[in-house]
Amino acid sequence: MKLNPIVFELEQKINQYQTDLEAIRLSNQLALESCCQIEQKLRTSQQMLQLVMDTLPERIFWKDRTSSYLGCNQAFARDAGLSSPEELIGKNDYDLPWATTEADFYRQCDNRVMISGQAEMGIIESQLQSDGRQAWLETNKAPLRDPKGNIIGVLGTYQDITPQREAEIALQEVNQKLNAQSTELKAALQQLQDTQLQMVQQEKMSALGAMMAGIAHEINNPVGFLEGNLSPAETYIKNLLRLTDLYQQKLPTPDPEVERLVETIDLEYLREDLPYLLDSMKEGVKRIREISVSLRTFARADTEKLVMFDLQEGLDGTLHILKHRLRANEYRPTIQVVKHYSYLPPVLCFPGQLNQVFMNLIVNAIDALDEANHGKGFQALQANPNCLTLTIELSDNQEFAMIRVKDNGVGMTEETKQRIFESLFTTKAVGKGTGLGLAIARQIVVEKHHGTIEVQSQLGEGTEFTVQIPVNPTPTSRECFRCP
């Protein structure tokens, strides 16, 4: 039977379509298999990435431009109290256990990184974690960019540095405690040094005072004999001379033996010299009396209470005691003393102690002059003499007695000037200075008398100390005055 040509043609086409379809099906199957393979590879690589991220001890997270989380590793999810990283996606810091202030801080930091396009490394921040633990983190944040370089979010990593941070804080606390203890110890040491100074000062004063008072007392008696006997002795001598005169008148030719004695004793010269001799003896006794008064003034025992005292008398008395050091010696002429004393009313003070201050200042000035004299000849020193200038005056507001002790000695370096009031600071040779003089002076002036002591000095030119003592301490400040 002959087939209808149309049917034949259709059959042909159907066969062709079936063949094509089979080819398409085969090709689709191949494509599908390839897709499956790619998907499998992708999944494997994603799993590998997650595995790597989860293995790292660091927490890793990334956020979009609105600071909503896009992903994280397992460690981060744990800190956030989530069971898997997927739970984090879409959340922000305010949805997590952190404190609001911490979330604010993280948000500000994200914005800074995204706006500047610059990574921030080593940010130390706190994080309240899901288990209520307050952790400390060291965080790094970097801008997250798409392939075209546009910033699409932020990538962050951090590590928990709580143990180090806690150790650091504990160390800081220990340091603070140590500092506090060291400050306390310093204060205690200072107090100990002050007490030691006070004791040295008391010891020095009482030993010196007792010795001086004793000497003054011992001198007084013999001086009293001398003073008491000098004037009758003068009368007796005058009478004896009158008698010899009368003998000479009545017996103009004496016995040769008498004549020989007159020649031997040089009666003529004796008569002339005797009045001078008596005058010089009187002067000597007067000076011994002055020394005795100075000794007693210096050693005044009334240091226990405030008394009215003439500072001028104190300064002069101290100077008197130091006269032996002012005199000329084989190395230098006499030190010149210039006094500028203005009117000063008596001052309510501890006189014995202020005398000690004057003594320390004047001895230091003399030492400084002697030091400056090294290597200078006697004549050079005569041309440019050593000079000690003492000034006493009332301050402009009449409230303070001002005492200045100035020398043109060796002067001080800046470093010495800074340290002179430190106890035990001295630039003098061993055995010459103990470094206590000015520390004691400062204590007496500042702490005992509520005054001030200042120094001005120029190296090679000289030094001036200015002491200010309140003339009339107010009743309240009087109460503050501590007895030595």
Q: CA-to-CA distance for 1 and 305, rounded, in angstroms?
A: 159
Selected binder of ligand ATP within 202, 206, 416, 452 (CB under 6 A): 416
Q: CA-to-CA distance for 416 and 453, rounded, in angstroms?
A: 16
Selected binder of Mg ion within 67, 303, 364, 373 (CB under 5 A): 364
Closest CA to 409 of 381, 455, 358, 371: 371
Q: Give me the least distance between CB of 427 and ligand ATP, in Å please.
A: 3
Kindly state whether residue 409 participates in binding ligand ATP, applying the rule CB under 6 A: yes
Q: Give me the least distance between CB of 453 and ligand ATP, in Å please.
A: 11
Give the E-state strand segments of 355-417 in sequence order.
387-394, 400-407
Given ligand ATP, Mg ion, none, residue 473, with its beta carbon under 5 to 8 Å by kind, binds none
Q: CA-to-CA distance for 268 and 263, rounded, in angstroms?
A: 9
Q: What letter represents residue 62's amino acid?
A: W
Closest CA to 439 of 426, 453, 420, 455: 420
Kindly state whether residue 326 participates in binding ligand ATP, applying the rule CB under 6 A: no
- Binding residues for ligand ATP restricted to 420-439, rule: CB under 6 A: 420, 425-428, 433-439
Of residues 299 and 366, the one with the C-beta less far from ligand ATP: 366
Of residues 74 and 423, the one with the C-beta less far from ligand ATP: 423
- Binding residues for ligand ATP restricted to 435-464, rule: CB under 6 A: 435-439, 463
Given ligand ATP, Mg ion, none, residue 436, with its beta carbon under 5 to 8 Å by kind, binds ligand ATP
Q: What letter represents residue 270's amino acid?
A: L
Of residues 426 and 472, the one with the C-beta less far from ligand ATP: 426
Phi-psi region for residue 431, left (φ > 0), alpha (ψ -120 to 50) or beta? Answer: left
Of residues 148 and 432, the one with the C-beta less far from Mg ion: 432
Stretch that binds Mg ion, among 117-125, 142-150, 262-270, 432-440 (CB under 5 A): 432-440
Given ligand ATP, Mg ion, none, residue 410, with its beta carbon under 5 to 8 Å by kind, binds ligand ATP
Residue 116: what are its φ and ψ, rounded to 5°?
-80, -25
Of residues 102 and 464, the one with the C-beta less far from Mg ion: 464
Q: How far is CA 225 from CA 236, 282, 420, in A?
A: 16, 12, 47
Q: Which residues, at least 6 apart from 110, have a Cβ–Cβ distance to it below 8 Å?
A: 63, 67, 141, 154
**Number of Cα atoms under 13 Å in the Cβ half of residue 396:** 0
Give the E-state strand segments of 274-432 in sequence order.
307-309, 336-341, 347-349, 387-394, 400-407
Selected binder of ligand ATP within 103, 358, 407, 469 (CB under 6 A): 407
Selected binder of ligand ATP within 67, 297, 360, 443 (CB under 6 A): 360
Selected binder of Mg ion within 352, 437, 470, 473 (CB under 5 A): 437
Q: Give me the least distance between CB of 351 and Mg ion, in Å please.
A: 20
Given Mg ion, ligand ATP, none, residue 365, with its beta carbon under 5 to 8 Å by kind, binds ligand ATP
Here the tokens at position 234 are: 């003068």
Altogether, the residues listed in the chain come to a count of 484
| 447 DSSP assignment | I
Q: Give me the least distance between CB of 364 and ligand ATP, in Å please.
A: 3
Q: Which residues, at least 6 apart from 162, have a Cβ–Cβ distance to it below 8 Å?
A: 133, 134, 135, 136
Task: Give the strand pairing for 336-341 and 387-394.
Answer: parallel
Of residues 285 and 354, the one with the C-beta less far from Mg ion: 354
Total number of residues that touch ligand ATP (CB under 6 A): 23
Q: Give me the least distance between CB of 293 and ligand ATP, in Å please.
A: 26
Of residues 346 and 433, the one with the C-beta less far from ligand ATP: 433
Residue 428: what are its φ and ψ, rounded to 5°?
-90, 160
Residues of this chain that bind ligand ATP (CB under 6 A): 360, 364-365, 368, 407, 409-412, 416, 420, 425-428, 433-439, 463
Binding site for Mg ion (CB under 5 A): 364, 437
